[in-house]
Structure 1
């Protein structure tokens, strides 16, 4: 067993993990990171070693809002409240641990994709910092429109159903307004954007290319560098075929499942 390292944590809304989520959680345990999974339901198929805790220990999850948005929507608020309460590193359930997080990393976040905007799929912050304050204030005191929106985005929101909850209207205008957009904006406001790591550290494969994880001839590791610690699998963008069928032999997903000890056929969608 690897030495005990910094704790990591995530949120799961639903009753059952899929195999890629099992894989990613187990990969952190393999490298010695204690893993806590905060859940809204009684999850029975978490990998051995994952500590299951009720999500209500951190915040209440409004399932009406989730049903009108997505299962991951409220995780954008949850992650910062969790970090403030526990000091753990936030990991999305589709972030694969390639190497352990160094102990001296205080700010953990990076750009991703082709455009280089910040992502918040893996986040480490001091429990008390200005960036955390700005993010939590944004979520707890939502403005009429996010401050960074242009007139076109505001007009789009004005066309949304006004009977819907305010967060839902923002989400339906811009799906990432509570996630990467907000994180990037407030990191610029506080000046912490200069602490951002390069994409190869946490998001070596651009999300536009996520089919490569299931391609038996895809050279996934060709995207890695010596600094790569986490590999985001972007399961929200995974094609239905790969969610419902085991990965092809020799693909990255197949190889990592064999390496970590996950049986995909036991947890397909």
Structure 2
């Protein structure tokens, strides 16, 4: 017998363990799947209405609004101009509707990740014990193949928008948690001592000192979360998530080269726009804090 082979009894025990886990999770989904889905209804509601807003609004208004948001975030005319022509190019190649669906999904996933990730990051920064527990969990979340997330999500929610957005949030949330924790821990101890000397409560010290000083680092986490969410666009399409992942899958199945390249370039354009705008906003925050000090 080779060293890596199990005896027959142990193989049977392993099979029983696998069967027990699978059946236990199936029983869990039957018992609580509908309850969990109802609890997550606000996420699906926001995604649906934001997507409808982007699709029902005339494309020129959406284009100008996106360009305006990029200019507000970056204050860079060339980046704003590049955003205008990049999004116009997406529309020219017939990918506008799918791009808006992807933008709605990425926005929803990012918002969900921020609302969950920042409090978890603050908890890690406040407690070494919480950090000790969270670090291995985040390591698993970041190293687990993205396709594995789809298995329990499909079993819980089936096929559609909700399982896609949940899988994206799970995959994209670790950076915002880690960098929120890092940013708050890197706040100068002397600044915290000065805040304590002025009688600041723990809450005021967090909201008026730690979070503002950590904001550039937190924004870097938001940037990484957005990029990871975009990286899940095609994978999430496998469970019915709308957007640019759908034409990519269709192109793969039918060997449509132009469709696949067009959808892929649309994803790249969105990624570049969001990455440059969020980075520029983070740099503006950093320079503003340095001027204040």
Flag the structure with higher helix content. Answer: 2
TM > 0.5: no
Q: Based on CA coordinates, which of the two structures has the bigger radius of gyration?
A: 2
**TM-score, normalised by the number of residues in structure 2:** 0.28
Q: What TM-score results when the alignment is normalised by the length of structure 1? A: 0.30
Q: Which has the higher strand share?
A: 1
